Structures are given as C-alpha cells and as structure tokens.
C-alpha cells in the first residue's frame, strides 16, 4: 500500500527550470501507520489488486517526458503535464478490474527567491492523472492525504490545488 502514494513523488518531482534555478519540491514518503488514518482495512485489501494497473503508483515511473514548458518569462515559468497516455492502461482496465476510475488534477504554484536573481514563480499544471481505487475507498481521503504530503514536502511559498473527477463507467458495479 505504500506504492499507493508513491505516485505523489512523480507528481511533485523536481523540475529543472534552468541550469541555475531548480524547484525544490521533494518526493514524499508515507509510513504504513499514516495510511491507516485515511483508509479502511477493506480499502487496503482492494488496492492490492490494482498494483499493476495504477501506473502512477509505481516507484519507477518517469513523468518528465509528459511535461512540457509552456511559457517562460524573466520572472516565471509554466509547465504543463498531461498523463493521459501514461495512464491509458488505468483508464482502459479499471472497470474490468472492479475499481472506480478517478481523474486527478494537480495545480501548483511556487514562488522562489533565487540568490542574485530575485523572485521567480514556477507554475505546474498536471492533468489526466488517472487512478483506479477500490470500491470502498474514499477519494476524498486520498486527496486530503496527498495535499497534506505535498504541502509538507514543498516550501512554504507553494500553493497546491488537488482535485478529482469520478469517471462514470459503462456498467454499474454491484
């Protein structure tokens, strides 16, 4: 279940802005004890069957190829990350595996003070981060934990917005 949150490290991994400016967002580590605060035992059991399906939960996922620089000014940079292709397996297989599909979106804005440079703003928009959750899992628990961990592991100058959309499937789970 630790892998359940390891994708957060991918979602908030450092982005190199230039040779001199680096966003100091660090990967997150979650202890098994903290997971119990947010997930029922039933949810924990259900999530085991989605280990191979949730690509973003894998430790070895490289999200950088899915992120592009959209706009850069002397005082800011915007990145856009679209994980639709990366999470295609999750999108296509979640329903057949008995899960609920959610589309996560993370918006992050960090204002960094760069020595001998001044204020610099880094905006990152990450979309189509599809995840498959067990039927008894509460997506709000996932969002709350991810937001807490993201804020804990970023500088005080970062604002984070994490939202989800439940994707209705073709059939109804009974």
Q: Is residue 172 in a domain? A: no
What pLDDT is recorded for position 153? 59
Domain that holds residue 81: 3-167
Q: Is residue 173 in a domain? A: no
Average pLDDT of span 117-131: 91
Q: Is residue 36 in a domain? A: yes
Using the predicted structure, report yes or no on whether residue 2 has a pLDDT greater than 60.
Answer: no
Q: Is residue 83 in a domain? A: yes
Q: Are 29 and 35 in contact (CB under 8 A)?
A: no
**What is the distance between the alpha carbons of residues 79 and 70, in angstroms, rounded to a whole number?**
6
Max CA separation in the chain (angstroms): 61
Q: Are 75 and 30 in contact (CB under 8 A)?
A: no
Using the predicted structure, report yes or no on whether residue 130 has a pLDDT greater than 90.
Answer: yes
Q: Is residue 145 in a domain? A: yes
Q: Is residue 129 in a domain? A: yes
Using the predicted structure, report yes or no on whether residue 98 has a pLDDT greater than 70.
Answer: yes
Q: Are 126 and 83 in contact (CB under 8 A)?
A: yes
Q: What total of structural domains would you count in the chain? A: 1
Q: Is residue 27 in a domain? A: yes
pLDDT tens digits along 35-66 = 444 578 888 888 888 888 888 877 788 888 89
What pLDDT is recorded for position 84? 95
Q: Is residue 174 in a domain? A: no
């Amino acid at each position: 279940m630790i892998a359940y949150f390891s994708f957060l490290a991918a979602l908030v991994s450092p982005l190199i802005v230039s040779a001199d400016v680096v966003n100091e967002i660090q990967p997150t580590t979650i202890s098994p004890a903290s997971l119990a605060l947010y997930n029922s035992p039933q949810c924990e059991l259900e999530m085991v069957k989605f280990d191979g399906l949730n690509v973003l939960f894998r430790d070895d996922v490289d999200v950088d190829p899915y992120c592009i620089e959209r706009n850069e000014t002397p005082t800011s940079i915007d990145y856009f990350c679209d994980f639709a292709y990366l999470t295609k397996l999750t999108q296509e297989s979640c329903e057949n595996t008995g899960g609920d599909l959610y589309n996560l979106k993370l918006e992050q804005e960090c204002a960094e003070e760069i020595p001998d440079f001044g204020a610099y703003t880094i905006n990152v928009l990450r979309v189509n981060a599809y995840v498959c959750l067990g039927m008894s899992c509460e997506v709000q628990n996932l969002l709350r934990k991810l937001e807490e961990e993201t804020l804990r592991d970023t500088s005080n100058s970062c604002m984070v917005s994490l939202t989800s959309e439940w994707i209705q499937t073709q059939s109804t789970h009974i």
